[in-house]
Amino acid sequence: MSHLSRLLYLTLLMFTVPLMAQPLRVGVSFAIPPYVISKEDRGIELDLVREAFADSGHDLQVVYLPLERTFRMLEEGKLDAIINVKPGMLNNAHLSQRVITFHNRVFTLDQTALHSLQDLQTLRVSAFQRAKQILGEEFAGIVGSNPRYEEVARQEGQVQRLLLGRADAVILEQRVFYYYLARLLGETESGERYPSESVRQHDLFPPTHYHFAFRDVTQQQWFDRQLTRMKADGRYERIFARYGASSSTGNIKASP
């Protein structure tokens, strides 16, 4: 190799290696299956972001955290991106195009009467973290005066509490709820068998459209370009199909 060729090679290596080694730290909630299945390090949203950055030169690192901490760590610069963000929820971040649509619903057992959001004012209600910010001002005002309202990080626990009668109503994204319901029915907890009583589903909220948030605008732009291509060539829908789902926001109620 000539001196000029060697110099050119070393120059290219100097600029290429840092790019190839650059980490992309993506914060995700512990478990929101089928969107994030932390025990298996996969899920619809993890597959989407991995597919989008597969040829980017970034070393994608998934960081599992409680939802609240993902927001805080992104704003502190300890994460490069997080999933499931609505406009107005973050400062100093660049939002992608719309990535996914959730449909949050209220679930009760059949003995609980629920006809409107106002009924949540007197019930034992368990919701996901940041529900008051995500589900609108009317909801926030109603549950804000309910001392028995809680927001929790562990969503499987919400379904457990409902089935055991320790919560009157839980608020969860529909696919997440039915994923856990199918796993829990017939199991036991400390000697108590989860009942097979009928679960009631209440459609009180409009669909929620989520974006991914990035600190670096070039990473956000890369993701948007790749996501557009994935939607056009069918990869986007195929990722949903891996988990027995589709990107449709329709009612997916199923018998578990």
Residue 82's pLDDT band, with cuts at 50, 70 and 90, is very high
User: Which long-range CB contacts under 8 A does 88-93 form with residues at least 24 apart?
Assistant: 89/130, 89/133, 90/213, 92/215, 93/213, 93/214, 93/215
For residue 256, the model assigns a pLDDT of 30
pLDDT in tens, 109-159: 998 999 999 999 999 999 999 999 999 999 999 999 999 999 998 899 999
Tell me the CB-side half-sphere exposure of residue 178, using CA atoms within 13 A.
16
Residue 15 has pLDDT above 80, yes or no: no
Please check whether residue 129 is in contact with residue 176, taking contact to mean a CB–CB distance below 8 angstroms: no
**Residues 27, 71: Cα–Cα separation, whole Å:** 8
Q: What is the pLDDT of residues 45-64, one digit of tens each?
A: 999 999 999 989 999 999 99
More confident residue, 201 or 193: 201
**At the topology level of CATH, where does 104-202 sit?**
D-Maltodextrin-Binding Protein; domain 2 (3.40.190)
**pLDDT surpasses 70 at 19:** no
Quickly state the pLDDT bin for 2 (edges 50, 70, 90).
low
Partner residues linked to 104 by β-bridges: 173
Closest by CA to 128, choosing from 75, 196, 205, is 205
Between 20 and 167, the more confident residue is 167
| pLDDT at residue number 183 | 84
Fold match between domain 19-102+208-242 and domain 104-202: yes
Cross-strand bridge partners of residue 152: 128
CATH of 19-102+208-242, one of 3.20.20.70, 3.90.930.12, 3.40.190.10, 1.10.10.60: 3.40.190.10
6 membership: H or E segment, kind and range: helix 3-21
For 21, the token pair is: 């080694």
Q: Amino acid letter at 214?
A: F
Domain range annotation of the chain? 19-102+208-242, 104-202
User: Coil, helix or strand for 188?
Assistant: strand
Give me the percent of the chain exceeding a pLDDT of 70: 84
- C-alpha R_g of the chain: 21
Q: How far apart are CA 249 and CA 207, in angstroms?
A: 7
Residue 86: pLDDT over 70: yes
User: Are 129 and 68 a contacting pair, CB within 8 Å?
Assistant: yes
- The structure's pTM equals 0.77
Nearest Cα neighbor of 160 from 150, 173, 170 is 170
Cα separation of 206 and 226, whole Å?
28
pLDDT of residue 70 exceeding 80, the answer is: yes
DSSP summary character for residue 78: S
Categorize the per-residue pLDDT at 22 as very low, low, confident or very high, splitting at 50, 70 and 90. Answer: confident
79, 214 contact by CB (below 8 A): no
